[in-house]
Structure 1
Amino acid sequence: MPITNMSINDPKSPTIDSALSSVPSVFRVRLVKYYRELKQAYIRGAFDACGSRAGKFCETLIRFIQQELEGSHAPFGQQINLCSVARKLEGLPQTTGNESLRVFIPRAICFLYTLRNKRGFAHVGADLDSDPIDAITCVRLADWCLCELIRIFKNLPLEEAQTLINTISTRESLGVWPVAGKKRVLKKGLSYKDQVLLLMYSEVTEAVLIEDLFEWTEYSRMKDFRHHVLAPLHRDRFIEWDKDTDAALISPLGVHKVETEILSKQP
């Protein structure tokens, strides 16, 4: 879908909540809350927290599908065997409802919940410690599940649903827009230093090439960008700038500055 078809600066453009407006609020509010918390936990590098949020997201989504296909759901707060519920849903007659609700989403939920339980997210002594790969898998599966819900309940093609959710989640969480292989800061009134920190915050677990930061901020001259923007950030320990690789990583101090100062700034 062409980029020009959707304006993320349009005050009338949709939110995740409005995109799922046909989902009953008892489920929608929880789904949106846990989805946002999962995305924010990943951005902060809080990988253990990703598992907790993913688990709550799964427990809510499976109950919604129960309600949608069977007319009732396990009460919130009641412990359920999520994968058993998923298998039961998959065994329902084909005429019960949309195949994605019966089969694909329950299978994805079961995998996500198993990953959450077995990879160190939820319990001491789990098979492996959680890491960025596991955490981003949780995020991507939640993305896909939410895209499927939007596709089904807003009657959109999958590609448009993905574009919609990418646009919505970017606008609502960071004010950083991934577009055409680049990133643009949408939050108005930020200094170049703050823009760099916000861009690096969106890549919190990865080093970012200096040439990318220069291109994304559209600073006028690379020499001045290094001297007036990167050097002070490195000196103040907001970033770690490796001049051998010419890449930088945001520091815990930088993360704290973004979360306590930059994200709260009004345009």
Structure 2
Amino acid sequence: MSLPSLKEALKAIPSPLSDPLLEEFEQALDEYRAADWEKVGLKAGKFCEIAYCVCAGYVSGAYSSSPFKPANFPQACRDLEQHNGTKGRSLCMQVPKVLAALYELRNNRAIGHVSAEVSPNHMDAEFFLRGMKWIMGEFVRNYSQLPLDDSHAVVEAVTARNFHMVWASGDVRRVLEPARSAGEKVMILLYAEGTPITIAQLQTWVEYKNRTDFKRKVIEALHKKAWVQYDEKAGNVRILPPGQAHVEKSGLLTTGK
């Protein structure tokens, strides 16, 4: 069974808000993968405005027909707190507080401004991305009508790690160190994705020519080490905890190793 999409999990949010929310989120991920830190911040600002509209619609029960920017963003976020007693803390208090923090950093740091100081854009981009992922995870928790296991899988996929070593464009992934072995590339890709990947997809990403040899020499060898779980019937592979530990401790995520 394939992993449900983020769009499926958030379909309870009206499309005039969910579609641009997903677009800004995905573009922020693309800019992060491209190491364009300033653009990550620019996307984060628009993302926050749309996410606020989602929270405001949740509180009022009436969603806006299009995203809008509150005149006073911090105050608008604080105004949602008064509803936490009836609507719960997540979308009334916790998410708005994170939105306010992201928005403050977006508008009052180096992004979009000229400064003689050391640029904080990279570390800010890390914060923006993690904050956006956390907010999307909260939206899935509050809005998803999928079965519990599927909702959990979507949250795990949303919060999966991103690496400069893995280039992504649409459904294409590539490890940006050609000298890595096929097995190392598989482990890096599985760790970065955080979800089961089909054999066919992995073979394409690793650029391994022979399917039979790929399964036998690479996937089955990793399966025997208990680094991955190879589901032959489903035709997919997922990383296991010992495999995650191996990736983190072996230096596979460090360039030039």
User: Is TM-score (shorter-chain normalized) higher than 0.5?
Assistant: yes
Which structure 2 residue ranges, 5 or more long, are not aligned? 163-167, 174-188, 209-217, 223-253
How many angstroms does 1:68 deviate by? Answer: 1.5
Residue 121 of structure 1: SS of its match in structure 2? Answer: coil
1:91 equivalent to 2:82? Answer yes
1:189 equivalent to 2:182? Answer no
Distance in 2 of aligned mates of 1:61 and 1:121: 20
With 110-119 and 125-134 compared, the bigger mean Cα shift is at 125-134
Match of residue 256 from structure 2: 248
1:13-28 aligned within 5 A? 13-28=3-18
How many angstroms does 1:171 deviate by? Answer: 9.9
TM-score (norm 2): 0.60
Distance in 2 of aligned mates of 1:189 and 1:78: 43
Residue 256 of structure 2: SS of its match in structure 1? Answer: strand
CA deviation digits over 1:229-258, x for unaligned, max 9? xxxxxxxxxxxxxxxxx9429xxxxxxxxx
Q: Return the letter of the residue paired with 2:256.
A: A
1:82 equivalent to 2:70? Answer no
Match of residue 108 from structure 1: 98
Q: Return the letter of the residue paired with 2:191.
A: P
Q: Which of 47, 51, 56 does residue 57 from structure 1 map onto?
A: 47
Residue 76 of structure 1: SS of its match in structure 2? Answer: coil
Distance in 2 of aligned mates of 1:159 and 1:27: 22
Residue 67 of structure 2: SS of its match in structure 1? Answer: coil
How many angstroms does 1:114 deviate by? Answer: 1.0
Which structure 1 residue ranges, 5 or more long, are not aligned? 1-9, 194-214, 220-245, 250-267
Distance in 2 of aligned mates of 1:30 and 1:180: 23
User: How many residues end up aligned between the 2 structures?
Assistant: 189
Q: Return the letter of the residue paired with 1:136.
A: E
Match of residue 134 from structure 1: 124
Q: Return the letter of the residue paired with 1:165.
A: V
Match of residue 180 from structure 2: none
Distance in 2 of aligned mates of 1:43 and 1:50: 10
Distance in 2 of aligned mates of 1:125 and 1:180: 36
Identity %: 21
Distance 1:180 1:40, change over 3 A: closer
How many angstroms does 1:191 deviate by? Answer: 5.7
Q: Return the letter of the residue paired with 2:90.
A: S
